[in-house]
Chain A
Amino acid sequence: MFGTGLLKGLGITFKHLVDTYKDDIQSTPARYQGSDDRGKGLKVIDQPVDQEGLLTIQYPEERRLLPERFRYIPMLIWDTETDEERCTACGICAKVCPPQCIWITRATDEAGKPVTRPQDFFIDATICMSCNYCVEFCPFDAIKMDHDAELASFERFPHLVYDKGELTVPLDYYAALWPTQYAEEQERRAQEAAEARAKEEAKAARAAVKKEEEEAPAPEAKLSRAEELKQKAMERARQRREAQS
């Protein structure tokens, strides 16, 4: 019948309106359960999966609660436990980066020898594709994904090419942002550290045993063996000299 489509459509719109109010009344005082009021009129909203009616969030006064795994631009971790950065400038992140937006200069010590720390670390946020590979393949848990997505700036360069100072965050910041992953990681790191320590201890014990064994029988025998080799070498050298002359 002519006009039923129109009425149906308006009916759905009306149902949305009623649902929204119904939902508002049911979930007083806060419309969104579990939302977080951060003061200054800013609310972070965890929208439940059974939300009915209006799904709109009034950005920027209201924001969505981002899931833990949300990824945007990487950040570098400053390990507050050891009070140093975790990055060793190994360059794996620069190698796996699909748009090649990471480059690292390695620090040097007083003698000019390179050390395993970055002098500087750049990420070009204008071409970063937020793919997570740098995080995935970092063997030192030194680079993680930040949740801050509001990076707008008036100039593209150099504002959006981040250097080490802009990228580095303390470990606690990461722990607060990624609680589940952080807990898993700490467990793994503690286990690895324990294993490394056990290995070290076993090695030290072995070395001690070996040393005892070596010390116990005859130090002269070893010395004489070295002496023997030395004499042999000297003999060979003499023969060679003679052959040449």
Chain B
Amino acid sequence: MSDIVAPSTTVAGPLDVAGTLALVQEALPDAKPVSAGPTDYLEVAPDQLIEALQVLRDQGGCDLLSSITCTDYLSYQGRARAKDGPRFEVVYHLYSTAQGGDCVVLHVPVDDGESLPTATPVYPGANLQEREVWDLYGLVFDGHPNLRRILLWEGFEGHPMRKDWHEAYYEEDQKPFRSRHPRADFARSEDKVPWGKNTRYPADWDPDDWQEPVTYVPVSQDPRSRNGAGDHLSTESVVVNLGPHHPSTHGVFRMIVRIEGETVIALEPDMGYLHRNHEKIGERNTWLMNMPFTDRLDYINSMSNNWGYALAVEKLMGLEVPERAEYLRVIMAELSRIVNHLWSIGFILNDLGALQTPALYAIEEREMILDLFESVSGARMMCNYLRFGGVHRDLPAGWAERARYVVHERLPRALDQLDDLLSGNEIVNTRGRGVGYLSAEQLISLSVTGPMIRAAGVPYDIRRCEPYGVYDRFDFDIPTLPHSDVYDRYYIRLLEARESVRIVQQALAGLPEGDILAGKGGYVFRPPEGEAYGRVEGPKGELGFYLVSDGKPNPYRYHIRAPSYINLNALAPMTVGYKVADAIVILGAIDIVLGEVDR
């Protein structure tokens, strides 16, 4: 099978961010360049946004709109911003998958009650993220095809990420809460209102009368839909709910599918069942307190999540990480990638109907890796191992030898066994080959990242294109596969796990001695004012943390660019036209974790 692996591709020089911003400025003289801490961005008026995005896409080469988010500057306490400016700023991060390099950042100031144009005509991948901004901030994107709530339910009152919105049982804006220290008169809010409600509904909304409109499920997204065309048996399409409680959806996730016979003609993802407003909690927390919360995003890869967050905060604070800590981070993140890929391969088989047994064989080696995590960090899954400027603890005695045995003996053997068992398997081939196809251009325009685009032949990997940590010191390939179907998405994960094994082998061999934590330590951090976007190549795609600091001990804005969530942009276009049984495995091959999708 290895004959279809493209050789490691080095990309054509990093994107010239300053030059690209200058291009936009040339086209739009009103755009204002701003520098906020480590980030330089352009401020663009709402009516010029589409033009700016077009310039970036067509002339600047920024083909992937990575992240859209918003900041509410209502209670900003820093000195760097004018107090009377517009209340909201919508933030766009774009980059080039062909050139690599850093992100280009645009800010669009919008006042309360104003709207801005949707980016979906230029970048269809803006779809889910604009809905999220509408849901959480209440900003209207004119022309958006489906601007409904996405993480919260239709009867929810208010837009919770606004700074003046308070949750039920609200105590204070920032932790530590004074009721715990120094007053110590804490009482559970539930006890104060034993029969009270913790939800508010809009005035005209009655939960008993309300019925979910199914009309928004499009009659057809499929250009080939032949319903009623007369050239085959005329059938009636029906709407089927897959999930939210269904083993195939990998959590509490729902696909509303319109099928004709067995063919999917339209699909609408429905999520938010696990939504806890992680970002609002993050703004209550201090900088350090957020670290264990990031474990709970993609709970299979807590080490990578920690790294993404630590990277963003280190950017803000300008912290250098000692070499030994960098190596430990690489080892942990790559082991975690192996865990993730084994897990996802096992569960693709589960979705194909090979229930449980192959999945358990695939995750057998995961046990050994989790034991390693547990003995170094104290927990198998919620590791909370990284700190700003390093890692929490050094390796215990005998750890490196055990890890060496795992990556030299066990993992290569286990991956070979999986390859031997699955890659030639007739069921995996017939159910996987040619199923769920989407071209590389479509995937990129839908903001899809990670193994999904590498299975479509795009050699974009942040470890290579904008190296962080010490990834530039290791010899590894970025495998790509050409077909962009379910089979390739399975096989790319196997290849990537092999590369990760190589990286861990090298990192263990070259592990230097020395410090593991830079900086003063302590639990109160006050990063200087500014904003930073730290991103890592998570096992599921680009995991980014967008942080705004106003120089206080709590983050002013804490946003997660969650790869599982944004990759779901491609779910409907990928599934439409295939059979309903394929919908399950296409979703499985995207590899989502609902802790990260719903946040």
Residues of A near B396 (CB, < 8 A) are 67-69, 180
Q: How far apart are the CA atoms of A131 and B425 in the complex, in Å?
A: 43
B213 within 8 A of A: no
Given contacts A69-B393, A133-B523, A136-B392, contact A105 B378 (CB under 8 A): no
Q: List CB contacts (< 8 Å) of A83-98 with chain B.
A: 91-92, 94-98
Confirm or deny: A12 has a beta carbon within 8 angstroms of a beta carbon on chain B.
yes
Give the A-B contact count at a CB cut-off of 8 A: 114
| A9 interfacial contact with B, CB 8 Å | yes
Q: What 1/0 mask marks residues of chain B from 56 to 74 whose CB sits below 8 Å from any chain A CB?
A: 0000000000000000000
Contact B361 A102 (CB under 8 A): no
**Contact A67 B374, beta carbon cutoff 8 Å:** yes
Residues of A within 8 A of B181 (CB): 91, 94-95, 103-104
* Contact, CB under 8 Å: A5 / B424: yes
Interface residues of A in 135-170 (CB under 8 A from B): 136-137, 145, 157
- Residues of B contacting A207 in the complex (Cβ-Cβ under 8 angstroms): none
Does B232 sit at the interface, judged by CB under 8 A?
no
A67-B375, A103-B179, A131-B384 known; A49 vs B289 contact (CB < 8 Å): no
The interface size bin for chain B is 35 or more
Known: A69-B376, A145-B378. A96 touches B184 (CB 8 A): no
In the bound complex, do residue B409 and residue A4 qualify as a contact, i.e. CB atoms below 8 Å apart? no
Which partner residue on chain B sits nearest A157 by CB separation?
A: B188
> What separation, in Å, do the CA atoms of A136 and B186 have in the docked complex?
24
- Confirm or deny: B273 has a beta carbon within 8 angstroms of a beta carbon on chain A: no
Q: Does chain A have a CB within 8 A of B405?
A: yes
Would A55 and B364 count as touching, CB distance under 8 A? yes
Complexed CA–CA distance, A91 and B292 (Å): 20
Within the complex, the shortest CB–CB distance from A182 to chain B, in Å, comes to 14
Measured between beta carbons, the chain B residues less than 8 angstroms from A13 are 357
How far is B405's CA from A69's CA once the two chains are assembled, in angstroms? 21
Q: A50-B409, A133-B523 are in contact. Are A100 and B176 (CB under 8 A)?
A: yes
Are B426 and A5 within 8 A (Cβ)? yes
Task: Give the residues in chain B near A5, CB-CB below 8 Å.
Answer: 421, 424-428
Minimum Cβ distance to chain A for residue B72 (Å): 23
- Does A35 have its Cβ within 8 Å of any Cβ on chain B? no
Measured between beta carbons, the chain B residues less than 8 angstroms from A157 are 188
A47 contact set on B, CB distance < 8 A: 371
Contact in complex: B180, A97 (CB < 8 Å): yes
A9, B376: Cβ atoms closer than 8 Å: no
Measured CA separation A16–B361 after assembly (Å): 10
B340 to chain A, nearest CB (A): 19
- The complex places the Cα of A137 from the Cα of B387 at a distance, in Å, of 13
Tell me if A91 and B523 are in contact (CB < 8 A): no
B420 at the interface (CB under 8 A from A): yes
Min CB distance, A120 to chain B, in Å?
8
8 Å CB interface, A1-52 against B? 2, 4-5, 8-9, 12-13, 16, 47, 49-50
What are the residues of chain B within 8 A of A55 when measuring CB–CB? 364, 367
**How many Å from the CB of A51 to the closest CB on chain B?**
8
Partner of A49, one of B402, B417, B425: B402
**B514 located at the interface, meaning its Cβ lies under 8 Å from any Cβ of chain A in the complex:** no
Asked if B511 lies at the interface with its beta carbon under 8 angstroms from chain A, I say no
Residue of A nearest to B186 (CB): A103
Closest A residue, CB atoms, query B523: A96
Instruction: Give the residues in chain A near B409, CB-CB below 8 Å.
Output: 50
Cα distance A2–B426 in the bound complex, in angstroms: 7
| A8/B378 contact (C-beta < 8 A), A50-B405, A95-B523 known | no
**A129 contacts partner chain B, Cβ-Cβ < 8 Å:** yes
**How far does the alpha carbon of A83 sit from the alpha carbon of B519 in the complex, in Å?**
36
Interface residues of B in 418-434 (CB under 8 A from A): 420-421, 424-428
- Answer yes or no: B578 CB below 8 A from chain A CBs: no
Q: Are B378 and A71 in contact (CB under 8 A)?
A: yes
List 25 A-B residue pairs with CB atoms under 8 Å apart, sorted by A's residue number: A5-B424, A5-B425, A5-B427, A49-B368, A50-B409, A50-B410, A68-B396, A69-B375, A69-B396, A70-B378, A71-B378, A92-B523, A95-B181, A97-B180, A98-B289, A100-B176, A103-B181, A104-B184, A105-B184, A131-B291, A131-B384, A132-B378, A133-B289, A133-B523, A136-B392
Chain B contact residues, CB within 8 Å of chain A: 175-177, 179-182, 184, 186, 188, 285-286, 288-293, 357-358, 361, 364, 367-368, 371, 374-379, 382, 384, 392-393, 396-397, 402, 405-406, 409-410, 417, 420-421, 424-428, 522-523
Q: Please give 10 more A-B residue pairs, beta carbons under 8 A apart, in addition to A8-B421, A94-B184, A132-B392.
A: A5-B424, A9-B358, A94-B176, A94-B181, A96-B289, A100-B177, A102-B180, A106-B184, A131-B382, A131-B384
